[in-house]
A = this chain, B = another copy of it.
Amino acid sequence: MNDRPTLFPVAEFHGRVEGLQRRLAQAGQDALLLTSAADIFYVTGFLTRFWESPARPWFLLVPAKGAPVAVIPAIGRDLMERTWITDIRMWDAPDPRDDGISLLADAISEHVPPDGLLGVPMGLETSLRMPLADYHRLLDRIAPRRPADATDIIQRVREVKSEAEVDRIRLTCAIASEAFDAVPAIVNRAPTLDAVFRGFQSALLDAGADWVSYTAGAAGAGGYGDVISPAGPQPLSPGDVLMLDTGAVRDGYFCDFDRNFSIGPVADETRQAHDALHAATDRLIDDLRPGMLACDAHRQLCAALELRGMRPGGGRLGHGLGVTLTEWPSFTDHDQTPLVAGMVLTIEPSVVLSSGRILVHEENVVLRPDGPELLSPRAPGEMVEIPL
């Protein structure tokens, strides 16, 4: 009734399920239980902001053979029926007496033999979006079937994006880029950090974002500190660097890149740091290849920054991106995940300035067999100056 076209042809979803089923078979698991918004959207196309309400769990079972089974609150009926999923089982949630557990246990029992394994994502970057007590109740109900870690199964499939997914992320990046172009006007209209955050979110919506799941940023003299706080009414002043970072969403796909702006002329140290970040990013765009490890990308970014006399920032310097704001792998010194063609990645070097403040630069790319292709329109080599 709302005329929203299906996001992808059914073949796209079939391909995703085949990937999962191949890996389930290899791992000797009989079905995969998914509970998160991202995983369920990925397999079904079921897209809603209703996940914001913690009241109800949602379940998707992907058997090693056969069609997926959605076990969901009845409020999701219309939307799930418009996806390609046909086996949809529902209950009136929330129901403290049995919040879908019997229905789910029955579906599992149909697809997993008594001595079989139920795959559940349990590793890094996953969490089980259902009450823990209900999970234990479920395990009791399906015994002697046992749970097994399925993190690799979902992550190895999700991390390789199809061309249709790359197109979606490229579109979200273009939307964010248009909003970044509006920032000087937004700052001039009301030069306080909270007003800029609001104006930037509106600009993202104006440019075509469906919603804005994430906006971060900061401003400070020459650089900034904390980049995860909400904005306060701090006035912007000449000499400040303003950074804005966004995870806007279009059709369920995120972008995640930032831009730095100088309020008034750029200070020398800031310019040098920005040059180094820009050059290190260019260098990695030239050099990144499938077969390298996530930690290799980290090492190359650090080396490029140090070559210019800069101190690289702590934490990760890039990560995956797609149906969530951040995905694995992480560009850290210890992440051994092999990079493969089709991964969409952020390249996110940061440097620590003499003041202890930082500058962060970020682009989004898809890794091709011969190297990265930019999805975010490349940031200008010189930081954009906003006269105040």
Which of B131, B201, B234, B319 lies in contact with A123, CB distance below 8 A?
B131
User: At the interface, yes or no: A1 with Cβ under 8 Å from chain B?
Assistant: yes
Q: Quickly give the copy total for this chain.
A: 2
CB distance from A2 to the nearest CB of B (A): 5
Report A287-314 CB contacts with B as 1/0, cut-off 8 Å: 0000000000000000000000000001
Which of B1, B205, B314 lies in contact with A92, CB distance below 8 A?
B314
Which of B38, B53, B129, B315 lies in contact with A326, CB distance below 8 A?
B53
- Given known contacts A123-B133, A229-B2, A330-B55, is B201 in contact with A205 (CB within 8 Å)? yes
User: At the interface, yes or no: A228 with Cβ under 8 Å from chain B?
Assistant: yes
Contact in complex: B131, A122 (CB < 8 Å): yes
User: At the interface, yes or no: A334 with Cβ under 8 Å from chain B?
Assistant: yes
- Interface hits, A198-236 → B, CB 8 Å: 198-199, 201-202, 205-206, 208-216, 218-220, 224-234
Report A159-202 CB contacts with B as 1/0, cut-off 8 Å: 00000000000000000000000000000000001100111011
- Interface hits, A42-90 → B, CB 8 Å: 47-50, 52-55, 57, 74-79, 82
Interface residues contributed by chain A, number (CB under 8 Å): 92
- Given known contacts A226-B1, A332-B94, is B122 in contact with A216 (CB within 8 Å)? no
Of the candidate stretches A21-29, A95-103, A105-113, A276-284, the one touching chain B is A95-103
User: At the interface, yes or no: A11 with Cβ under 8 Å from chain B?
Assistant: no
- Which residues of the partner chain B approach A228 to less than 8 Å between Cβ atoms? 48-50, 75-76, 79
User: At the interface, yes or no: A128 with Cβ under 8 Å from chain B?
Assistant: yes
Contact in complex: B127, A132 (CB < 8 Å): yes
Report A130-169 CB contacts with B as 1/0, cut-off 8 Å: 1111101000000000000101000000000000000000
- Which residues of the partner chain B approach A53 to less than 8 Å between Cβ atoms? 214, 324-326
- Which residues of the partner chain B approach A115 to less than 8 Å between Cβ atoms? none
**Chain A interface (Cβ < 8 Å from any Cβ of B):** 1-5, 36, 38, 47-50, 52-55, 57, 74-79, 82, 92, 94-97, 99, 120-134, 136, 149, 151, 193-194, 197-199, 201-202, 205-206, 208-216, 218-220, 224-234, 247, 314-316, 319, 324-326, 328, 330, 332, 334-335
